Amino acid sequence: MRLDFPEVSSKHARLGFESGKFWVEDLGSTNGTFIGGQQVSGRVNVEPLQPITLGREVTILGVANEEQLARAIGGQREIERKPAVQEKRFPALISVSEVARPARFLLAPGATVTVGRDPGCDLWLGAPHISRNHCSITFSKTGNLILTDTSTNGTAHDGGILRRGDTLDIKNPKVLDFGGGVTVAICFKLEDERQFAASSGSIWSFTQEGPVRARRFTKGMQAIAAAGDGAGGSPVEALSHFERFKAFCSGLGLMGKVMLSVIVALLGVLCAVVFFLLVSVVR
């Protein structure tokens, strides 16, 4: 069934009917699939005429007979559209990375959300360097958020790096960096989500220097992309490693650039020493 709406992904969800009941399965859509205000993860059974919301605005119903069809068409059963409103509820996991599905995941009290490369994870991150079950986030009924790392390579954040078995109590908005440009923000309000999006998913989104660093990085990437378009046009994703390094340098502050210069100078001295040693051995 084709639904031509901007909020619906090209392959959004799968719907089936078995033993008198419908079931729905989200296929890694960008904006998610909702039943009764809860985001679907995996296959979930659905009663006939129970609203299924795709993204923010599109609601579909499953009908098993003519009577149910008449009730749906005639409006005798009110269609709840709360999932469209609850799209703005918090706390939520937000990502602007292209490999993240869904891009927004609501955290329900008392639930544990899994994040990783495994297709069965609630938040799927499709990058090879990410562990199949990278981490989990538990949202207790008392309102506590606990992050537990279960990965091979660790999970970075603005306060350090979590290793396998480490936990982190999250009380303020936080950006998790999975490496390779893949970041996920834990947002508690709409302002957090907007700030994270405005910084292009920077790990420094919620720090004092975050907006400045993010603007520098974004400006550098835009300048390089514009130069690439003028020269025949490769997109940002196709930039060389050197070009990406230039964009990274544009996001550094003064101290960062000084430290980088010192490191480069030390590497140059080391290379010179190795060269003279090799020359002396050859002689």
Q: Can you give the CATH number for the domain in which 44 is found?
A: 2.60.200.20
Alpha-carbon distance of 184 to 139, in angstroms, equals 16
Whether residues 186 and 100 share a domain: the answer is yes
Provide the mean pLDDT of the chain: 81
Q: Pull the structure tokens for residue 69.
A: 């069809």
Please report whether residue 29 resides in a domain: yes
Three-state DSSP at 119 gives coil
Please report whether residue 162 resides in a domain: yes
The residue ranking higher by pLDDT, 162 or 225, is: 162
Whether residues 22 and 107 share a domain: the answer is no
Model pLDDT, residue 17? 92
Model pLDDT, residue 158? 87
Whether residues 170 and 253 share a domain: the answer is no
Three-state DSSP at 77 gives coil
Whether residues 186 and 110 share a domain: the answer is yes
**Looking at 50, 80, 110, which one is the last position of a domain?**
80
| Helix and strand counts by DSSP (H, E) for the chain | 6, 19
Model pLDDT, residue 132? 95
Model pLDDT, residue 29? 86
Please report whether residue 37 resides in a domain: yes
Mean pLDDT of 17-29: 88
Report the domain count for the chain: 3
Using only C-alpha atoms, the chain has a radius of gyration, in whole angstroms, of 24
Mean pLDDT of 137-145: 93
Please report whether residue 205 resides in a domain: no
Whether residues 66 and 135 share a domain: the answer is no
Whether residues 155 and 184 share a domain: the answer is yes
The residue ranking higher by pLDDT, 52 or 280, is: 52
Whether residues 72 and 105 share a domain: the answer is no
Whether residues 48 and 97 share a domain: the answer is no
Alpha-carbon distance of 26 to 124, in angstroms, equals 12
Half-sphere exposure (Cβ direction) of 69: Cα atoms closer than 13 Å: 3
Strand partners for 33: 54
Whether residues 190 and 272 share a domain: the answer is no
Whether residues 135 and 50 share a domain: the answer is no
Whether residues 68 and 117 share a domain: the answer is no
Model pLDDT, residue 216? 55
Model pLDDT, residue 41? 77
Please report whether residue 258 resides in a domain: yes
Q: Pull the structure tokens for residue 227.
A: 């130069």
Domain carrying residue 278:
237-282
Span 125-136, pLDDT tens digits: 999 999 999 999
Whether residues 67 and 108 share a domain: the answer is no
Span 158-194, pLDDT tens digits: 889 999 999 999 999 999 999 989 999 999 998 999 9
Model pLDDT, residue 123? 92
> pTM, whole model, 2 decimals?
0.58
Model pLDDT, residue 82? 46
pLDDT band at 146 (very low <50, low <70, confident <90, very high): very high
Model pLDDT, residue 235? 36
